Amino acid sequence: MTLEFRALDRSSRLILSVLLLAVTACGEKAQLGPPPPVPVRVAVARQQAMPVELEAFGTVEAVSSVEVRPQVGGELTRVAFEEGEEVHKGQLLFTIDQRPFEADLDQAQAQLAKDKALAAKANQDVTRYAGLVEKDYVTQEQYDQIKSQAEAQQAGIKADQAAVENARLRLEWSEVRSPINGRTGAKLVHAGNVVKANPDQPVVVINQIEPIDVRFALPQSYLDEIRSRAQAGTLPVEVGSDDDPSLHETGKLSFIDNTVDPATGTIQLKGRFSNADHRLWPGQFVRVSLRLTTQEDAIVVPSAAIQSGQKGNYLFVMGADSKVESRSVTVDRTVGNLSVVKDGVKAGETVVTDGQLRLVPGAVAKPISEASGENGSAKNASNEQAGGETGAQSGGGEADGE
């Protein structure tokens, strides 16, 4: 009898414990009530003018790039520039030993003077023989011979003058000058070396970087629209860089290639930039935006409001009662941190830009500002709420274990 009583007493205590736990749980559920509002950040959809742009990646290239090669050979006696220096058209870059070219010029000038003297004597002979042939003192054959010698002397003078000009030109070429305005590259030859005329390798490369071009490619499907808008007026081109957020230069479309690349189906274009501050550099990789027109009545929301789901893009719109609803939207394009939507939202409606992870259609949201001290941010507030609820559930688990 004692054992049966103890067993019954133990069963009764277990049933009583279960009942107490059930009553406690029901009391806790009754006290929870409706879930608290979800803290979120919001923004207002606006109607404003937005550019219609085509985006691509491009490469900066010099408007003009010249590989400087000497046109005469000899010992290089002077290098008159520093690497990376800005030079102007006609500025002296290199000097080749000029003594051989000066001697050639002197020799050509002396030969010219000699032939001029002989030509003068030949002309005098022609005048004298003209009178003698009339008096039959000399034969016509002798006169013709004297006249032909004078004409040969005149031809020789022209050849001497050409030789003088050639010698003078070679003397000028012994001073290698910049053919364009630009910036020099590395010195590929130094003073004391012997260079030859028109060598295989240049002695320096000069790039014109003011103005400067940016080459980029766009799909051929845009060709007709680009051409028609380019004929109607100047198309702005903007460039930026992921490596340098401060880089923002504006130029204009300057070139549309005359053929489509059959391998890629793209058309090559160029934008020209003044580059007065030299922010753009040959070979630099940049982002390019070609502005075709401006849409005056675009509906714009922050890009952070756009979410991706199985059925496409959507966002949460908060009503006057602070309840949110999910709406499918069609994003036309993204410009910076703004997205242009074709449908799904109207100007003036409030959209959620942060805290969407805890939202469901019909949930109550509570907007907070960036400077709000309330939980710092929507994400932090959501995490704190989630952590608190998780902790409560863990505590309940421990109680159940007890």
Q: State the Rg of the chain over Cα.
A: 45
303 with 329: CB under 8 angstroms? no
- The pTM (predicted TM-score) of the whole model is 0.65
Q: Which domain holds residue 129?
A: 70-195
Stated length of the chain = 402
Type of residue at 93: L
Same domain, 330 and 358: yes
Residue 123 and residue 157 in one domain: yes
CATH number of the domain to which 262 belongs:
2.40.30.170
Do 276 and 291 lie in a common domain?
A: yes
| Residue at a domain's end among 296, 326, 356 | 296
For the CA atoms of 154, 159, 163, 169, the dihedral, rounded to the nearest 10 degrees, stands at 100
How far is C-alpha 221 from the chain's CA centre? Answer: 22
| Nearest one of 326, 325, 327, 336 to 302, comparing CA atoms | 336
Determine the pLDDT at residue 190. 94
In a domain, 14, yes or no: no
In a domain, 395, yes or no: no
* DSSP label at residue 57: E
Per-residue pLDDT of the chain (402 residues; tens, 9 = 90+): 444 445 445 555 666 565 566 555 555 554 556 788 999 999 999 999 998 889 999 999 999 999 999 999 999 999 999 999 999 999 999 999 999 999 999 999 999 999 899 888 888 888 887 878 787 787 888 878 888 888 888 898 999 999 999 999 999 999 999 999 999 999 999 999 999 999 999 999 999 999 999 999 999 999 999 999 999 889 999 999 988 889 999 999 999 999 999 999 999 999 999 999 999 999 999 999 999 988 899 999 999 999 998 889 999 999 989 999 999 999 988 887 999 999 999 999 999 999 999 999 999 999 987 444 444 444 444 444 444 443 333 333 333 333
Number of domains comprising the chain: 3
Considering 236, 270, 296, which residue would you say is the last residue of a domain?
A: 296
Looking at residue 128, what is its pLDDT? 82
Spatial separation of the C-alpha atoms in residues 46 and 402, rounded to whole Å: 57
Q: 95 with 185, same domain? A: yes
- CATH code of the domain containing 305: 2.40.420.20
Structure tokens at 256: 């549309």
- Answer with the one of 195, 228, 251 that is the final residue of a domain: 195
